Amino acid sequence: GDWFFHCHILYHMMSGMGRVFSYTNIDTASAPDISNKKLAQQKLFAEGNMLHAMGRVGLESNGSDGNFMIANTRWQASTLWHLGYKATTGYESETMIGRYLGRMQWWFPYVGFDYHYKIEGGPKNLFGSEEKNWFGQTSNKLNRKTITAGIAYVLPTLTVADLRVDGNGKFRFQLSRQDIGITPRLRFNWMINTDKEYAAGFRYILTKYINLSTHYDSDMGYGAGITITY
């Protein structure tokens, strides 16, 4: 007969982790076939492509950082933010929409909008002056309001390599990794890019939705507090 195997984590199943295994030469009296395979397949594909939402909001002593996304198997719309408590620690948000390509979905081309505002006087950047990025271009990260287009690729380590260009012709290459499991409850994340921005932090899972968290951000400095996940 026809058997549906899927991940027991429901949002994994809803985002495509399911397969139908079909056996032939069977006793149809004890294991009848699906009567309307075309309809069943349509319903299966619909369930495997449902929209689902995920979010994370950090509330820490140096500000708030987080992200929110809504996605299905192929499409994803997301926004992220890093908001300090004052202009010297910066206000930043990036919003994008894109589509995963290929059977394995490693490639993710996208378009979006980037807002970044900061004035001098915040944490000292370990990589020196922020007037130019590592491509040698004059940086616009202190006052940026521009469209963006890029492509991200998931490396074998689940590190995301992201190359983009904005509406002012400024390039940025970024490497990042989320949710590195240190212990069953402790998670680590990091990020670095050619705008000389970098961050690293830990989350300790207390409950399904609440985490203790701490991180360092090159714009916002050190912080500690809680992170709410959904």
State yes or no: pLDDT of 30 exceeds 70: no
d(CA 152, CA 195): 17
State yes or no: pLDDT of 198 exceeds 90: yes
Work out the mean pLDDT of the chain and round it to a whole number.
Answer: 90
pLDDT at site 48: 66
Model confidence over 102-145: pLDDT tens digits? 888 899 999 999 999 999 888 888 888 888 999 999 999 889 99
Q: How confident is the model at residue 167 (pLDDT cuts 50, 70, 90)?
A: very high
pTM, two decimals, is 0.85
Higher pLDDT, 18 or 197: 197
Instruction: Domains for the chain: give ranges and CATH numbers.
Output: 2-47 (no CATH), 52-229 (2.40.160)
Q: How confident is the model at residue 27 (pLDDT cuts 50, 70, 90)?
A: low
Burial of 46 (0-12, 13-18, 19+ CB in 10 A): exposed
Model confidence over 52-81: pLDDT tens digits? 899 999 999 999 999 999 998 889 999 999
Q: How confident is the model at residue 32 (pLDDT cuts 50, 70, 90)?
A: low
Burial of 131 (0-12, 13-18, 19+ CB in 10 A): exposed
State yes or no: pLDDT of 29 exceeds 70: no
d(CA 209, CA 21): 35
pLDDT at site 41: 75
Contact 118, 87 (CB under 8 A): yes
CA 144 → CA 82, 137, 140, distances in Å? 14, 14, 6
Higher pLDDT, 82 or 2: 82
pLDDT at site 31: 60
> Which two tokens mark 99?
């589509």
